[in-house]
């Protein structure tokens, strides 16, 4: 089992936190003033989770380019968070920036296709291997629409998610297996009076027996899964898991939706293409259009046909999908530029080389400090996991999560000029990241770890 303690002393963590906080506040007068000035934003931020980062007041970024950020006080950071994957290919890749500038004078939002539309469909089909595509504005929406299409196509009411997974703000996925083994709404979920477990089943990742049992009554329309769980630290699939997942879903007539929003870090066609998965539906958001709000969802010929038939059978039918800005000329221009010119084989090769260096450097730091942690990896995505062995499911991931220690580590790295993803220990390598930046990350981590273990 996972050890009780994360391997560092609470007193050392508190001392490092106090020191980093004093340094952060003492050297950032404009950042502090910006927080005070934001009187008419709820919690002082444009999006509430910005106050949940490790910083005593939010970092305010004046400039983001490549893999480098500069705050309003002029401090520079090596950015390994990259907007939690939205900027996986670096901030403002030149081809995307140029396409956006061109499109700005040719129409931003028309609710009609632009000449890029057909080409974007071709690019998505060639890259991800499914024949039919739709554009949404967020990965959350793409997942919602895909789940709705799955229900319409199968005529079944339920979905299944893996315990500990995150697929965006999709209401019906906010369920978990409680300590008593019962499935229910996440206890901390606010403003949700419905019992989401009525229509959502939950089983542990990597548990094919539980999956088999949950699909046996053939009421589940769709399993939604990240191929690697990336939102609760990192949980890798065990050998045979994906083969089993595909075989069991097929046998029970349940569609398989693979959400590649984060695992796009694996390679140009996501984890799906690298590992030969065969999903019925596919979602990617965030980085897919180089950081502007766009997401894509795709389906097989079979799903498309069943969805079409369902619509023909309901001539009065209303899809319940859409959003006005989805499929906009702006999104199409950015998707085209990103897929054609930015997210290339060469870019991924470079990202993987950098991530190799990151993984090796961080593993060395952990081993020198004799910490019972390890480094997990999914292409350009690297995660320090606070457990001695690979995690197998969401429950283990939860047990390996130490919020106070993680926040302290993040703030201590920040004042050393390194930004990593908030809420867990995730780092990304972009094609714009330099080897020197990776070496800075490793050196700063060594410095912080030495302070923690003494």
Cα–Cα dist 94/124, whole Å: 21
User: Cβ 19 to ligand PMP, closest distance in Å?
Assistant: 31
Cα–Cα dist 426/79, whole Å: 11
Q: Which lies closer to ligand PMP via its Cβ, residue 264 or residue 449? A: 264
User: Cβ 441 to ligand PMP, closest distance in Å?
Assistant: 21
Per-residue exposure over 47-59, b if at least 16 CB sit within 10 Å of its own CB, e if not: eeebeebbbbbbb
Q: Which lies closer to ligand PMP via its Cβ, residue 237 or residue 285? A: 285
User: Cβ 276 to ligand PMP, closest distance in Å?
Assistant: 20
Q: Which lies closer to ligand PMP via its Cβ, residue 137 or residue 445? A: 137
User: Cβ 48 to ligand PMP, closest distance in Å?
Assistant: 13
Q: Which lies closer to ligand PMP via its Cβ, residue 258 or residue 412? A: 258
3-state DSSP assignment of residue 295? strand
Q: Which residue is nearest to ligand PMP (CB)?
A: 168
User: Cβ 137 to ligand PMP, closest distance in Å?
Assistant: 8
Q: Which of 221, 230, 224, 169 is nearest to 202 (CA)?
A: 224
User: Cβ 293 to ligand PMP, closest distance in Å?
Assistant: 8
- The residues pairing with 375 across neighbouring beta strands, listed in sequence order, are 384
- The residues pairing with 153 across neighbouring beta strands, listed in sequence order, are none
Q: Which lies closer to ligand PMP via its Cβ, residue 132 or residue 282? A: 282
Cα–Cα dist 387/399, whole Å: 9
- The residues pairing with 79 across neighbouring beta strands, listed in sequence order, are 419
Applying CB under 6 A, the residues found at the interface with ligand PMP are 138-140, 143, 166-168, 226, 231, 259, 261-262, 285-286
User: Cβ 284 to ligand PMP, closest distance in Å?
Assistant: 9
Query: CA distances (Å), 187 to each of 197, 231, 387, in order?
Result: 12, 18, 25
User: Cβ 421 to ligand PMP, closest distance in Å?
Assistant: 10
Cα–Cα dist 298/283, whole Å: 7
Q: Which lies closer to ligand PMP via its Cβ, residue 75 or residue 148? A: 148
Answer for the pair 8, 452: CB distance below 8 angstroms, yes or no: yes
What tokens does 369 get? 């400090």
Q: Which lies closer to ligand PMP via its Cβ, residue 71 or residue 176? A: 176
End-to-end CA gap in the chain: 26
Q: Which lies closer to ligand PMP via its Cβ, residue 173 or residue 440? A: 173
Query: CA distances (Å), 243 to each of 206, 239, 247, 250, in order?
Result: 11, 9, 6, 11
Question: DSSP per residue over 210-267, as a string?
Answer: HHHHHHTTS-EEEEEE-SSB-SSS-BPPPTTHHHHHHHHHHHTT-EEEEE-TTGGGS-
Cα–Cα dist 44/14, whole Å: 26
Q: Which lies closer to ligand PMP via its Cβ, residue 211 or residue 228? A: 228
Q: Which lies closer to ligand PMP via its Cβ, residue 71 or residue 393? A: 393
What tokens does 448 get? 């912080």
Q: Which lies closer to ligand PMP via its Cβ, residue 261 or residue 272? A: 261
Phi/psi at 418 (5° precision): -130, 125
User: Cβ 140 to ligand PMP, closest distance in Å?
Assistant: 3
User: Cβ 206 to ligand PMP, closest distance in Å?
Assistant: 17
User: Cβ 419 to ligand PMP, closest distance in Å?
Assistant: 17
Cα–Cα dist 380/223, whole Å: 26
Q: Provide CB contacts within 8 A for 245, sequence distance 6+.
A: 208, 211, 223, 225, 256
């Amino acid at each position: 089992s996972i050890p009780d303690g994360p391997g560092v002393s609470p007193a050392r963590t508190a001392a490092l936190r106090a020191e980093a906080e004093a340094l952060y506040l003492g050297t950032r007068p404009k950042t502090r003033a910006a927080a005070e000035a934001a009187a008419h934003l709820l919690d002082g931020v444009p999006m509430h989770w910005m106050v949940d980062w490790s910083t005593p007041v939010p970092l305010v970024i004046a400039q983001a380019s490549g893999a480098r950020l500069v705050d309003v006080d002029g401090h520079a950071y090596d950015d390994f968070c990259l907007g939690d994957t939205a900027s996986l290919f670096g901030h403002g890749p030149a081809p995307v920036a140029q396409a956006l500038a061109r499109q700005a004078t040719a129409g931003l939002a028309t609710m009609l296709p632009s000449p890029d539309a057909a080409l974007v469909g071709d690019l998505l089909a060639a890259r991800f291997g499914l024949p039919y595509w739709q554009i949404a504005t967020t990965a959350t929406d793409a997942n919602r629409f895909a789940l709705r299409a799955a229900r319409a196509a199968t005529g079944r009411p339920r979905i299944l998610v893996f315990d500990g997974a995150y697929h965006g703000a999709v209401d019906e996925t906010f369920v978990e297996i409680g300590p008593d083994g019962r499935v229910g709404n996440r206890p901390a979920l606010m403003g949700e009076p419905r019992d989401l477990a009525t229509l959502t089943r939950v089983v542990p990742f990597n548990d094919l027996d539980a999956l088999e049992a949950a699909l046996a009554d053939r009421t589940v329309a769709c399993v939604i899964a990240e191929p690697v769980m990336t939102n609760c630290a990192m949980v890798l699939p065990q050998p045979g898991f994906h083969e089993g997942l595909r075989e069991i879903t097929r046998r029970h007539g349940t569609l398989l939706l693979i959400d590649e929003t984060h695992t796009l870090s694996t390679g140009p066609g996501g984890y799906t293409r690298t590992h030969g998965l065969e999903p019925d539906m596919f979602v990617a958001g965030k980085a897919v259009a180089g950081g502007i709000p766009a997401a894509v969802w795709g389906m097989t010929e079979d799903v498309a046909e069943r969805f079409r038939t369902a619509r023909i059978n309901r001539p009065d039918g209303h899809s319940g999908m859409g959003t006005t800005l989805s499929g906009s000329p702006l999104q199409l221009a950015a998707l085209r530029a990103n897929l054609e010119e930015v997210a290339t084989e060469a870019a991924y090769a470079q990202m993987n080389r950098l991530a190799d260096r990151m993984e090796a450097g961080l593993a060395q730091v952990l081993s020198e400090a004799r910490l019972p942690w390890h480094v997990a990896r999914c292409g350009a995505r690297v995660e320090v996991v606070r457990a001695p062995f690979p995690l197998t499911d969401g429950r283990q991931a939860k047990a390996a999560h130490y919020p106070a220690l993680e926040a302290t580590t993040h703030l201590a790295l920040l004042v050393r000029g390194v930004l990593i993803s908030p809420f867990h220990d995730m780092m990304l390598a972009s094609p714009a990241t330099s080897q020197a930046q990776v070496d800075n990350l490793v050196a700063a981590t060594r410095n912080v770890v030495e302070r923690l273990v003494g």
